[in-house]
């Protein structure tokens, strides 16, 4: 092609990136990699091939780890952990800083290896992935430096087992390894079977940073190795991958006491309003769904376009699709590279085959490539509108009004990310809080940074990676004592019945309700006196209570000031009946009068504390490196199921209900099984304190019988348990149905004299990060 022809057509010529240094690095290891355990590569064992998806050529052979190998890696991490933590935050910061610098010095090697191994375009690996990897290690070096001042009393969890996916192999390593190491943990990491090379290169590099042996261990292999890591003697599991595997992990470690964070799938909406800059929005779509070939958990794969501009927008989008270049990932002029593996390409083809709607596709070469695809005219319930494709396939429908856009956007079991495109900032900031998503981008997409938390809600998982909020997943407080079971007072041989029979009802939707099953049980004092009866709630009562809590959603939208005022009013009314509550606690528990009075006084004080917090738990404007802001907003979790503690019948109840209400949640609380009458008296206080019906629902009955029902209820967003009954495992196991958050005591006691404000604030809120770029 002559120069004149090039100017005429403006065609792109090839701009290939050399793979020589990357291949030399592989050759330097003999093309065969052992496991990286205790600071060294072991001898290669049973091998499998890792291939270049663009060509099918074998890049290297990598060891398939055995169960014994995983155990050896965990043992090495366990030996190294005390010394690594003892090094202190400033000492660890120096090592993390060195890792960041080394990543920058070897940026081109990492970028080419990533492109070769995963098939992503070299300019994405070079300009986005590797830069963010260095940024994460720099940022977490700073957090390590500040840990002792900003997180006083926080301690490392111990050994972290981490399993990462194939779409961002090196970046996912950084997201997981950097915070774990910064807080003093050690790591056993399992990279994806299809893309292990950059993890091995990072392990090789880590020795130059002075990372002590055993602090980082890399075990390679298939899904069986990931299962072994999850099942091993680790203190925390961090997983990024499919929702189905995330649910399996949740069930597998239920009741083990292992901490867990899950970053799972998504079906993120990309909402375009009729006042949007359409050409800009089209470019946003290119970045949202065709970045990394659509193999992105937060890809904007559902296009919701306002009806009046739909035809024009689709025409512009199809014209842009026709110009996308698909081909050799090492060509710097390529927009889309290869799909990571023929198996993944086959999954994409199978999902698209036979779909409804109008299908438009671009061009793609033969081999493990898939063309950019647009499918319009689908119904919201169509499988392609609901299921994650994980490929370069954009599906779409239309909406008429903003409220319909929100309804369509939230019509998904996922809740990872969302994009809003409009020139009206008022509209954008009205829509963003209404979207069920952990991240919302305004007039942009796929913006990420180490300072801003990343993570989802619903079946997109729980926990955050990045920012201060991401550190909570890697630290713990002081060790707690074993919680002794607290049993109800048994019926005496000789009963004392002095008062008229009174059966306390359940409290559902702001009204007292008889238990559906028609059963109740007596409550006895230690002196043999019959204090009354309480109803025994069953699954139907739980269902009714959850429905009432769902119906009280307006509480989450009330002003924080109003929530504070109501909590202050509850405290006032409880204080007015302090003597009555103290007598009740003494009668139920046998406590001395002064101890019972102290518990009531502490309960009033606790309500005042949470009233004070209601309008003071602020979000943050994150210091992200863009011309704009990333707002970390603390939102209510939703409906929280609670099992109140037995050992402090009133203070424990107030301590779990009040923080949830202060942050805008609604609760379904199962009262102390041993001493339930404090809770049934307390709802009388709620009735006189302007608490809207359905905001607090109180059940009495058997915690063991209700635990699995609460854990598995699809309309409950989180479950807390402080019961002395052995129900933690049941709650965690059943929570896998919709991947709700759980906070359970694992049989450990809590000091109810301590408000533990930061713990309860974090558990009562979800952090939503709203990215707002500005400027023309």
CA distance 430 to 426: 6
Helix 677-687, helix 578-589: angle, nearest 10: 160
The beta-carbon contacts of 478-485 under 8 Å, at least 24 apart in sequence, are 478/153, 478/155, 480/745, 480/748, 480/749, 480/750, 481/748, 481/749, 482/747, 482/748, 482/749, 483/647, 483/724, 483/745, 483/747, 483/748, 483/749, 484/724, 484/749, 485/646, 485/724, 485/725, 485/726
CA distance 667 to 658: 10
Query: 263 an active-site residue?
Result: yes
439: number of CA atoms within 13 Å, CB side?
32
CA distance 36 to 50: 17
Q: 610-624 b/e with 16+ CB inside 10 Å = b?
A: bbebbeebeebebeb
Give yes or no for a contact between 228 and 189, defined as CB atoms under 8 angstroms apart. Answer: no
CA distance 742 to 234: 19
Q: Residue 359: CB partners within 8 Å, gap ≥ 6?
A: 352, 373, 374, 375
SS3 content of the chain, % helix, strand, coil (to 5): 45, 20, 40
Query: Taking the C-alpha atoms of 612, 614, 618 and 619 in order, what is their torsion angle to the nearest 10 degrees?
Result: 160
Q: Which helix (H) or strand (E) holds 531?
A: strand 530-535
CA neighbor of 225 nearest in space, from 354, 96, 370, 67: 67
Burial class (CB in 10 A: 0-12, 13-18, 19+), 228: buried
Structure tokens at 505: 């009802």
Helix 197-206, helix 88-105: angle, nearest 10: 120
CA distance 101 to 108: 13
Give yes or no for a contact between 267 and 388, defined as CB atoms under 8 angstroms apart. Answer: yes
CA neighbor of 205 nearest in space, from 172, 167, 173, 160: 173
CA distance 154 to 210: 24
Give yes or no for a contact between 745 and 483, defined as CB atoms under 8 angstroms apart. Answer: yes
CA neighbor of 172 nearest in space, from 32, 317, 330, 298: 298
Active-site pick, 17, 85, 227, 263: 263
CA distance 560 to 614: 6
CA neighbor of 408 nearest in space, from 385, 442, 432: 385
CA neighbor of 212 nearest in space, from 80, 89, 71: 80
Phi first, then psi: give them for residue 157, nearest 5 degrees.
-70, -40
Structure tokens at 701: 């009955």
Query: Which residues are identified as catalytic?
Result: 263
């Amino acid at each position: 092609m002559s120069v004149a022809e090039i100017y005429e057509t403006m065609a792109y010529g090839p701009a290939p990136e050399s793979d020589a240094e990357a291949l030399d690095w592989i050759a330097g290891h003999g093309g065969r990699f052992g496991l990286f355990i205790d600071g060294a590569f072991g001898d290669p064992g049973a091998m499998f091939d890792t291939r270049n998806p663009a060509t099918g050529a074998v890049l290297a052979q990598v060891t398939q780890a055995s169960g014994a190998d995983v155990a050896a890696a965990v043992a090495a991490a366990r030996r190294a952990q005390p010394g690594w933590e003892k090094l202190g935050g400033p000492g660890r910061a120096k090592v993390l800083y060195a890792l960041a610098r080394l990543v920058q010095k070897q940026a081109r090697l990492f970028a080419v290896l990533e492109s070769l191994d995963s098939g992503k375009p070299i300019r994405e690996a070079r300009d986005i992935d590797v830069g963010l990897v260095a940024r994460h290690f720099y940022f977490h070096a700073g957090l390590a430096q500040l840990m002792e001042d900003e997180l006083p009393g926080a301690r490392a969890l111990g050994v972290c087992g981490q399993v990462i996916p194939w779409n961002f192999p090196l970046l996912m390593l950084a997201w997981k390894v950097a915070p774990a190491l910064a807080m003093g943990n050690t790591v056993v990491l399992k990279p994806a079977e299809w893309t292990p090379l950059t993890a091995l290169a990072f392990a090789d590099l880590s020795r130059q940073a002075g990372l002590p042996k055993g602090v980082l261990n890399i075990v390679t292999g298939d899904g069986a190795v990931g299962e072994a890591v999850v099942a091993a003697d680790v203190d925390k599991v961090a997983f990024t991958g499919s929702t189905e595997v995330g649910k399996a992990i949740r069930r597998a470690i239920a009741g083990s006491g292992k901490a867990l964070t899950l970053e799972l799938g998504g079906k993120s909406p990309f909402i375009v309003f009729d006042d949007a800059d359409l050409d800009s929005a089209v470019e946003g779509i290119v970045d949202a769904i065709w970045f990394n070939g659509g193999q992105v958990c937060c890809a904007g794969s559902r296009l919701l376009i306002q009806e009046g501009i739909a035809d024009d927008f689709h025409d512009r989008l199809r014209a842009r699709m026709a110009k996308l270049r698909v081909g050799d990932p090492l060509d710097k002029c390529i927009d889309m590279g290869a799909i990571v593996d023929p198996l993944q390409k086959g999954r994409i083809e199978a999902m698209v085959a036979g779909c409804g709607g109008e299908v438009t596709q671009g061009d793609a070469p033969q081999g493990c490539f898939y063309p950019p695809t647009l499918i319009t005219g689908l119904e919201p319930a169509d499988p392609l509108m609901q299921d994650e494709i994980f490929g370069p396939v954009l599906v779409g429908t239309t909406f008429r009004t903003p409220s319909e856009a929100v309804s369509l956007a939230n019509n998904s079991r996922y809740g990872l990310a969302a994009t809003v495109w409009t020139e009206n900032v008022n509209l954008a900031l009205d829509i963003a809080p209404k979207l069920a998503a952990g991240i919302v981008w305004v007039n942009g997409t796929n913006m990420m940074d180490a300072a801003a938390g990343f993570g989802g809600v619903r079946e997109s998982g729980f926990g955050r990676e990045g920012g201060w909020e991401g550190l909570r997943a890697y630290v713990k407080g002081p060790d707690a004592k074993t919680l002794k079971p607290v049993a109800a007072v048994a019926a005496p041989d000789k009963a004392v019945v002095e008062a008229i029979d009174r059966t306390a009802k359940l409290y559902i939707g702001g009204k007292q309700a008889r238990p559906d099953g028609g059963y109740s049980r007596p409550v006895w004092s230690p002196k043999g006196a019959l204090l009354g009866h309480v109803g025994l709630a069953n699954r139907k009562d739980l269902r009714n209570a959850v429905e009432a809590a769902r119906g009280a959603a307006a509480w989450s939208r009330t002003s924080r000031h109003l929530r504070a005022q109501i909590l202050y009013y509850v405290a006032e009314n409880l204080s007015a009946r302090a003597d009555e509550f103290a007598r009740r606690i003494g009668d139920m528990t046998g406590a001395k009068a002064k101890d019972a009075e102290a518990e009531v006084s502490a309960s009033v004080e606790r309500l005042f504390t949470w009233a004070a917090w209601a309008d003071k738990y602020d979000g943050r404007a994150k210091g992200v490196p863009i011309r704009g802001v990333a707002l970390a907003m603390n939102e209510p979790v939703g409906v929280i199921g609670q099992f109140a503690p037995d050992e402090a019948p009133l203070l424990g109840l107030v301590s779990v209900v009040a923080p949830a209400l202060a942050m805008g949640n609604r609760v379904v609380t199962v009262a102390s099984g041993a001493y339930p009458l404090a809770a049934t008296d307390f709802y009388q206080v709620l009735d006189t304190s302007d608490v809207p019906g359905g905001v607090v629902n109180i059940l009495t009955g058997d915690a063991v019988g209700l635990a699995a029902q609460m854990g598995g209820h699809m309309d409950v967003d989180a479950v807390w348990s402080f019961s002395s009954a052995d129900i933690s495992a049941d709650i965690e196991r059943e929570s896998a149905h919709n991947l709700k958050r759980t906070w359970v005591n694992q049989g450990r006691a809590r000091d109810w004299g301590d408000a533990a404000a930061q713990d309860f604030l974090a558990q009562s809120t979800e952090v939503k990060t709203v990215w707002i770029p500005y400027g023309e």
